[in-house]
């Protein structure tokens, strides 16, 4: 890699305010705000709106859409398209 063109890569805490969940990882993201982590060290913190702790797919609360019913309803309403 070329020196001097890549952003700094270091430990960052990502915090999901909706779920009250935070995790420490490495990233190139930066922040002026900091938080004291469980190990006693201070790290920059980035607040995110959604994470695996609050996303419906990961929490099991995702809804399944009836796409077949939608297609059938569309075809009833507008008719089938003729093959060429």
Tens-digit pLDDT profile for residues 17-26:
877 889 999 9
Residues 12-20, mean pLDDT to the nearest whole number = 86
- Count CB atoms within 10 A of the CB of residue 31: 14
Whole-model pTM: value is 0.62
Helix residue spans in the chain (DSSP H): 56-59, 67-78
Residues 24-30, mean pLDDT to the nearest whole number = 93
Residues 70-75, mean pLDDT to the nearest whole number = 78
Q: How high is the pLDDT of residue 41?
A: 95
Q: Assign 13 a pLDDT band (cuts: 50, 70, 90).
A: very high
């Amino acid at each position: 890699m070329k020196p001097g063109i890549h952003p700094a890569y270091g430990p960052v805490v990502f915090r999901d305010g909706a779920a009250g969940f935070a995790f420490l990882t490495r990233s190139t993201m930066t922040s002026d705000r900091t938080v004291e982590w469980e190990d006693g060290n201070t790290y920059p913190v980035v607040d995110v709106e959604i994470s695996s702790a609050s996303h419906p797919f990961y929490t099991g609360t995702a809804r399944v859409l009836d796409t077949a019913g939608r297609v059938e309803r569309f075809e009833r309403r507008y008719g089938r398209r003729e093959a060429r």
